[in-house]
Amino acid sequence: MKIICVGRNYRAHAEELGNAVPEEPVVFCKPDSALLPPRNPFVIPPWTRDVHHEIEWVVRIGKVGKYIEPRFAYGYLDAMTVGLDFTARDLQSKLKSQGLPWERAKGFDGSAALGSWVELPDEPRAHEIRLEKNGTEVQRGSTADFLHSVEDLVAFVSQYFTLKKGDVLFTGTPAGVGPVAAGDRLEGFLNSESRLRVNVR
């Protein structure tokens, strides 16, 4: 399976990192070894001093497709949840400043945590995502505020990558990203339901 991720899909988050708001989606991938096994703690790697949490709405691909048209894109999805796109911000900033790919900062072991899956509603609608750190809300967003709709994202990425059943798409994080530390308890919510718990070590 592939883990495809979108960056800068909320205006406020692009601005908080000082990034231009892009016309085309920013796309990157994580290897399957980035998946954090369910109920495992997230272990901060020894080579970074600044891992950030990014809570995101995540959708799962239900059938194979390429060159998908936006009007059909929703039909290629079969489930949704929230996920954490853990990011070594110090390494990412260094790589970005050198114009280099981000993979090491975004695709390291355990950097993709997925919540429990829920069925998608029959018709597209807005979903609210939220992250609590140690019981305090740190991030909140609505997919209504996407710069690129999920249909447009699926259509866009399928022009480059054949989408296969079981692939997952992280759709970008809202504002409020910040560091995690050993001992933190992270809890992700989708439409007010707790879907993801991760302890940081």
Q: Is the alpha carbon torsion for 185, 51, 23, 152 positive or negative?
A: negative
State which residue, 158 or 173, has the beta carbon closest to Zn ion. 173
From 33-41, 77-85, 92-100, 115-123, give the range in contact with Zn ion by CB under 5 A: 77-85
Q: Is 132 in the site for Zn ion (CB under 5 A)?
A: no
Number of residues that bind Zn ion (CB under 5 A): 3
Residue 172: other Cβ atoms inside 10 A: 26
What the block records as the tokens of 86 is: 């853990």
158 near Zn ion, judged by CB under 5 A: no
Residue whose CB is nearest to Zn ion in the complex, by number: 85
Task: Find, among 194, 179, 193, 182, the residue nearest to 54 by Cα.
Answer: 179
Work out how close the CB of 67 gets to Zn ion at its nearest, in angstroms, rounded to a whole number: 25
Rule CB under 5 A: which of 79-118 touch Zn ion?
A: 85
CB of 133 to Zn ion, least distance (A): 16
Contact 184, 135 (CB under 8 A): no
Give the one residue of 13, 54, 111, 120 binding Zn ion; rule: CB under 5 A: 54
Cβ–Cβ < 8 Å for 198, 81: no
Give 65 or 107: the residue with its C-beta nearer to Zn ion.
107
Contact 165/50 with Cβ under 8 angstroms? Answer: no
Residue among 65 and 83 whose Cβ is closer to Zn ion: 83
CA dihedral of residues 27, 12, 34, 201 (deg, nearest 10)? 170
In this chain, which of 171, 173, 176, 190 binds Zn ion, going by CB under 5 A? 173
Q: Which residues bind Zn ion (CB under 5 A)?
A: 54, 85, 173
